[in-house]
Structure 1
Amino acid sequence: MSGLSRIDDSFLGKWWRNTDRWTLGCVGILIGFGYILMLAASPAVASRIGASRDMFIFKQVIFLTLAGLIIFLTSLLSPQGIKRLAILGCILAIIATALTLVHGIEIKGARRWIAIPFMSIQPSEFLKPCFAVVTGWLLGGMKNRSFFPGMIIACVLFGIILVLLKSQPDIGMLSVIAAVFMIQLFVAGLNLAFVGIGVGSMIAAFIGAYIAFPHVRSRVERFLHPNVGDHYQIDTALRAFGNGGFLGRGPGEGRVKDLLPDAHADFVFAVAGEEYGFLVCLFIVLLFCFIVVRALLKMLKEDDPFIILATTGLVSGFGLQAFINMGSTLHLIPTKGMTLPFISYGGSSAISIALAIGMLLALTRQRINYEETVINTGIPGRKRRMVKL
């Protein structure tokens, strides 16, 4: 890409000049960590379940390669194309999420996956980016058109998603989507009194989930009371961090990671801590923070309500997912089975996050608006009209 000059007028050259290369570079580094940490974490997990030691590695190579392609292709779209893609994706994701309640695979008491050849898909993963963009369009339309019922439609859509995710159940995913929706409502200018009501409703919903769902109650009680329940995974993860120390044990030298049942997925951050130490973990945290903060700072110069709200929703969901994974691994919050973007194993997760980042890059791409210019051709009575977009 370095060979693309400023005067390169090709399609690829324009894309490279106008895309946020800093964010793209950070995403590339995260994908690189995904490859490296999968080599360290997955062989022991695969051997434990009787599969080939390289099974998870080969699959993740395919998933991350596909994720990189999706990021590139999606980032080429215009804001209008992103809007259409999100609407279609949201409709399909809602239908597929509803199908999980009938034909889904049940794992640990939850129906969240649909089996297809070579992998299983979690449709609710695709609700996060698509719903964020659709909500951005609905709420942004209220500012551009009078009497547009964007708020009502967005709330109805959120209500449908709430019912579906509660029925699976997937309280963690619902919490992320609800938090993103509240952030978008706040940015859209919702009255602070209603924001307070929304926050209070979320707190009440968490209390209701604690009462209604035994697995939620178990996780909260294990977090609050270290002597209650099974703490094997979190204790092993903390041992891995302690074993790694400041600089880590070195690539392939981790031993505690081999004892983690979900070392390749929900607890991959602990593998990074043991083999590469505190400094690399801090670097990973800073990469996620940089992507989130840079996107939000770019929105300070943006005027389009749709782009502001959609980008805020996309980057908020991305940042919240990373925080939940790393926070639960470090025992800062109750454990929640949520992947670390681009680093944890998972096809649905990698592809859905790639879709979100591709949308983010497309919406934050530089767009220079030129006024219509009339050029004298030198021929009497004849002028050429040029419009650059």
Structure 2
Amino acid sequence: MAGYSRTDDSSFGRWWRNIDRTTLICAFILIGFGYILMLAASPAVAVRIGASRNMFILKQVVFLALAGVIVISISMLSRRSVLRLSLLGGALMLGATGLTLVHGLEIKGARRWIALPMMSLQPSEFLKPCFAVATGWLLTQRHTLRHFPGMLIAFALYGVIVLLLKSQPDIGMLTVITSVFLAQLFVDGLNLALVGVGCGAMAGAGVGAFFIFPHVRSRVERFLHPNVGDHYQIDTALRAFGNGGLMGRGPGEGRVKDLLPDAHADFVFAVAGEEYGLVVCMLIICVFATIVIRTLLRLIREDDPFVIISTAGLVTGFGLQAFVNMASSLHLIPTKGMTLPFISYGGSSAMSIALAIGMILALTRQQPGENPAGSRFVATLRHWRSA
């Protein structure tokens, strides 16, 4: 962009020069796909439940517009501001997640949402990126400040989140946050044997969830045994991919949106496969992969441990969520009600993913002269200890 040359010293000019423009563009490509697929999938769902034909479309237009604003606004923050936002936002969302157990909106046997005038807020969606940044800071500061129990606090915070999500219950979100935490511990240098122990514990917890939670057992049994239970949704989704073929049946010509109750949310990838075909599905996968790989490559050149650990957690959560949604639609894993970032319908999902992408862009943005995040706090603690 000629208007923002290296001599442009304005805030926007510096931001544009130093931001990862490829990741930023990919995020807005996904938002564009969100608009297109919501136009394709949501009217039939709205009519089926007796609502206005454009209800979901109008809401998602607002949600995705806000998501775009959030991505750009957060990406302009300094690393220190991202940390402060994460600590404050994490504390608020942790309290709100606990509030769902008392005053939460119950849907399909789970209390995960707080009813608001225009939407239902799922606090755990916002807790995920805040947890990744807060944990990255805690793990980093234990190396910087002697006797600072960063690891202990991180595990205590994780334990509180586990108890809250188990009580809702939200096993899918719990799995994602656990994977984020394990990835951060690995990047922080945790012994491989202990990483193996953690993965084993996660597998053991999955077995426990199979026996404790009936809905988990039902989904796993339907995945492993084709003759057990109701396979209507996944069979319909797989037929949609088959009907779409290479180039798709064309915009508006798909049938899966008329048959699946969650065609605009959990199975929006099947709508893309039927109407736009394998080519567009592969394009969507490539955009997600570009964001993940591009972010990891930028971390190779990074020397701030806080940025490395925090961003690794953020991109792990983002990539894993996209994989779970698409793999569920293709029957590669048991079905799980998890949205496809920026593409599935949902205000909490769109804005929380925007928060995560904005944080990734802010943390990986070149910020010459800025001290590592949290350094002022560490200096203050050292002053208090020496006083």
TM-score scaled to structure 2, two decimals?
0.94
Question: In 1, distance between residues paired with 2:22 and 2:66?
Answer: 21
Partner residue in 2 for 1:62: 62
**Other-structure match for 1:89:** 89
TM-superposed CA distance for 1:366, in Å, is: 1.4
Matched, 1:222 2:222: yes
Which residue of 2 is the match for residue 310 of structure 1? 310
- Contact kept, 8 Å, 1:126 with 1:352, in 2: the verdict is yes
Equivalent in the alignment of 2:340: 340
Residue 256 of structure 2 contacts residue 263 of structure 2 at CA under 8 Å; is this kept in 1? no
Which position in structure 2 is the counterpart of 1:165?
165
Q: How many aligned residue pairs are there?
A: 370
Higher helix proportion: 2
Q: C-alpha distance in 2, partners of 1:27/1:221?
A: 36
Instruction: Please name the residue that 1:294 is paired with.
Output: 294
CA distance in 2, matches of 1:304, 1:285: 30
Secondary structure, counterpart of 1:114 in structure 2: strand
Equivalent residues of 2:79, 2:363 under 8 A apart: yes
- Segment drifting more, 353-362 vs 188-197: 188-197
> Does residue 349 of structure 1 match 2:349?
yes
Q: Deviations over 1:50-85 (max 9, x none)?
A: 001100000000000000111111111111100000
Amino acid at match of 2:117: P
For 1:195 and 1:250, how far apart are their aligned partners in 2?
A: 47
Is 1:75–2:65 an aligned residue pair? no
Give the AA of the match of 1:223.
F
Can you list the C-alpha shifts for 1:149-175, whole angstroms capped at 9, x where unaligned? Answer: 111000000000000000000000000
Q: Secondary structure at the match of 1:279?
A: helix
Amino acid at match of 1:106: E
CA distance in 2, matches of 1:332, 1:263: 18
* Correspondence for 2:111: 111
> Which whole-Å CA distance do the structure 1 matches of 2:21 and 2:141 have between them?
30
- For the 8 Å contact 1:237–1:257, the answer to whether it is kept is no
2:116 alignment partner AA: I
In the TM superposition, residue 8 of structure 1 has moved relative to its aligned partner by 1.5
**Residue 36 (1) aligns with residue 36 (2):** yes
Q: C-alpha displacement at 1:38, in angstroms?
A: 0.2
Offset of 1:193 from its aligned partner? 2.2
Superposed, 1:42-53 pairs within 5 Å as 42-53=42-53
Q: Is the 8 A contact 1:324 1:338 kept in 2?
A: yes
Task: Please give the alpha-carbon distance, in whole angstroms, between the structure 1 residues aligned to 2:369 and 2:93.
Answer: 35
Give the deviation of 1:242 after TM superposition. 0.6
The aligned counterpart of 1:278 is 278
SS of match in other structure, 1:113: strand
Deviation of 1:2 (Å): 5.7
Corresponding residue SS for 1:50: coil
Q: 1:262 is matched with which residue?
A: 262
Deviation at 1:250, TM superposition (A): 1.0
Q: Give the percent of matched residue pairs that are identical in Structure 1 and Structure 2.
A: 72
Distance in 2 (CA, whole Å) between partners of 1:128 and 1:203 is 21
Secondary structure of 1:337 counterpart: coil
Q: Tell me which residue corresponds to 1:146.
A: 146
1:246 aligns to what?
A: 246
Measure the CA separation in 2 of the matches of 1:208 and 1:295.
34
C-alpha contact 2:136 2:307 (8 A) present in aligned 1: yes
The secondary structure found in structure 1 opposite 2:152 is: helix
Pairs within 5 Å for 1:179-194:
179-194=179-194
Q: Which of 1 and 2 has greater Rg?
A: 1
User: 1:240-270 deviations in whole A, cap 9, x for unaligned?
Assistant: 1011000101111112332111010000000
- Note closer, same or farther for the CA distance 1:128–1:2 as it changes in structure 2 (3 Å cut): farther
Deviation at 1:10, TM superposition (A): 1.1
Closer, same or farther: CA 293–147 of 1 in aligned 2, 3 Å: same
Which residue of structure 2 lines up, in the alignment, with residue 374 of structure 1?
none
Shift of 1:3: 3.0
Q: Deviations over 1:85-114 (max 9, x none)?
A: 000111011100000000001111100000
> 1:381 corresponds to which residue?
none
Counterpart of 2:126 in structure 1 is 126
The 1-side partners of 2:275 and 2:24 are apart by 26
Match of 2:342, SS state, is coil
* Contact kept in structure 2, 1:45 and 1:263, CA below 8 Å: yes
Q: Which residue of 1 aligns with 2:204?
A: 204
In angstroms, what is the RMSD of aligned CA positions?
1.0
Contact kept, 8 Å, 1:257 with 1:274, in 2: the verdict is no
Separation in structure 2 between the aligned mates of residue 294 and residue 5 of structure 1, nearest angstrom: 23
Q: Take 2:102 and 2:256, find their aligned partners in 1: how far apart are those partners? A: 39
1:328, distance to aligned residue in structure 2 (A): 0.3
Q: Secondary structure at the match of 2:115?
A: strand
Answer whether contact 2:257 2:264 (CA < 8 A) is retained. no
Name the CA distance, whole Å, in 2 between partners of 1:270 and 1:2. Answer: 41
